[in-house]
Structure 1
Amino acid sequence: MDDVEVPAFQRARRPEHRELRRQEILVAAEALLAEMPAEEISLRELGRRLGVSKTHVVRYFESREGVFLGLLDRLQVSWLEALADEWPAPPCEPDLVMRAWADSLAARPILCRLWSLLPSVLERNVSADTVRAYKLAELEHRARLVELLRDRVPALGADDAITLSKYAVVSLVGLWPFSDPTPTVVEATADPRLAGSRVDFAAMYADILQAMLAGLLARA
């Protein structure tokens, strides 16, 4: 909207201007993550990408980890908005839903990378208020995911759908780093004898989700 546009990175004073600034920072962070590992991105580098100083970035996010938490939330929202179209329409085979779930995340490597860093990196060097805000937003995201799950897999009870959504995140955190190796590991595993050590994220994550769903349905 024209009434909320302000010159490039002039200090924002109105709430809608501040939100625009925050979104500009998140867009820049996403672009940088497509080019380099998260550990190489600093607030100074973000500022350089935006043409401002590090101090300008700190006005909107308390730390680099705070920026990444904000981006993780933004990418989760975008992912959930797309799931209704990316998952098969009901009625459908539960295993196909799990495979579509895995494929939808495999197509979003930056989301997966940030999610995998959540417990070890993103929840450090941030205030309790920032973590609390993220986790409260995540509860809302999980409620939407559970709603979609129960729509596609009616046999899955509400509690088990919540359990599956939690286990799915923990599994992603553990699996993604193995499927997104460093160049050194890629070079090493090019050896045919190490073919079995290569990880196809979409295929393995789908297997994990299918196994968890089968266990929950059997227990029910």
Structure 2
Amino acid sequence: MDEVEAPSFQRARRPEHRELRKQEILDAAEALLAEMPADEISLRELGRRLGVSKTHVVRYFESREGVFLGLLARLRLAWLDALADEWPAAPCEPDQVMRAWADSLAARPVLCQLWSLLPSVLERNVSADTVRIYKLVDLEHRTRLAKLVRDRVPALTADAALTLTEYAVVSLVGLWPFSNPTPTVVEATADPRLAGSRVDFATMYGEILQTTLAGLLTRA
């Protein structure tokens, strides 16, 4: 049986109240992701955390994946807002910026987990309109990220900086699962002969970003 909706989470009528309800749902999703993998979180579990039915959640997000897309955009924006303080100030060495980029993401595992699920999970079971809105926000965020990079690596063109952000996302999607393996894989790679198969996200991601940046600068 679905949970009974709590009086404190009544259906919103005004736009500002609706936005508040959406943020409360995203808060609950973020808290759950800190406790369990995304594939274990359902709309029913989200509703239980909020004290409402899953039907109530669907009034604000069309699906679980829609919730995760909204949370990914929110967490990415918070990350961008923090980069001015977390990245070295110009002038600085390009490799310093790439290492700071990797370290800042490694410190945000929920953001990385959601980002890594983008093509395989988050962009499924949602409408074309939801995906379109997300991708427009994503482009806005990556454009801002590209500008932050160019402020510190002025030799990079605007187009190349935006290309770097595209490669960075694709690399994260592939690398994050490898650096956060299942318990079975952790047990298997405890074998000393497989020590080279263990992946540290921050280290390898930083190397990928440095190599990609060097290639784009050379090509330019």
2:143 maps to 1:135? no
Structure 2 CA distance for aligned equivalents of residues 199 and 30 of structure 1: 25
Name 1:4's counterpart in structure 2: none
Name 2:57's counterpart in structure 1: 57
Deviation at 1:74, TM superposition (A): 0.3
Q: 1:161-200 counterparts in 2 under 5 A?
A: 161-200=161-200
Name 1:3's counterpart in structure 2: none
Give the paired residue count: 214
Name 1:145's counterpart in structure 2: 145
Deviation at 1:89, TM superposition (A): 0.2
Name 1:103's counterpart in structure 2: 103
Which AA in structure 2 matches 1:189?
T
Which AA in structure 1 matches 2:79?
W
Structure 2 CA distance for aligned equivalents of residues 73 and 214 of structure 1: 28
Name 1:88's counterpart in structure 2: 88
Q: Secondary structure at the match of 2:125?
A: coil
Name 2:4's counterpart in structure 1: none
Name 1:19's counterpart in structure 2: 19
Q: 1:2-81 counterparts in 2 under 5 A?
A: 8-81=8-81
Deviation at 1:145, TM superposition (A): 0.3
Structure 1 CA distance for aligned equivalents of residues 115 and 19 of structure 2: 23
Structure 1 CA distance for aligned equivalents of residues 187 and 61 of structure 2: 37
Deviation at 1:34, TM superposition (A): 0.9
User: Which structure 1 residue ranges, 4+ long, deviate > 4 Å from structure 2?
Assistant: none
For residues 158-178 of structure 1, the C-alpha deviation after alignment (integer angstroms, 9 at most, x for no partner) is 111011010000010011100
Which AA in structure 2 matches 1:141?
H
Structure 2 CA distance for aligned equivalents of residues 48 and 142 of structure 1: 34
Name 1:155's counterpart in structure 2: 155
Name 1:121's counterpart in structure 2: 121
Deviation at 1:206, TM superposition (A): 0.4
Structure 2 CA distance for aligned equivalents of residues 182 and 27 of structure 1: 26
Which AA in structure 2 matches 1:210?
Q
Deviation at 1:36, TM superposition (A): 0.8
For residues 31-90 of structure 1, the C-alpha deviation after alignment (integer angstroms, 9 at most, x for no partner) is 111111111100000000000000110000000000000000000100000011110000
Which AA in structure 2 matches 1:63?
S
Taking only the aligned residue pairs, the percentage that are identical comes to 85
Structure 2 CA distance for aligned equivalents of residues 217 and 130 of structure 1: 35
Q: Secondary structure at the match of 1:8?
A: helix
Unmatched 5+ stretches in structure 2: 1-6
Cα RMSD (Å): 0.7
Unmatched 5+ stretches in structure 1: 1-6
Structure 1 CA distance for aligned equivalents of residues 179 and 59 of structure 2: 35
For residues 174-195 of structure 1, the C-alpha deviation after alignment (integer angstroms, 9 at most, x for no partner) is 1110001111111221222211
Name 2:3's counterpart in structure 1: none
Q: With structure 1 as the length reference, what TM-score do the two structures score?
A: 0.96
Deviation at 1:115, TM superposition (A): 0.6
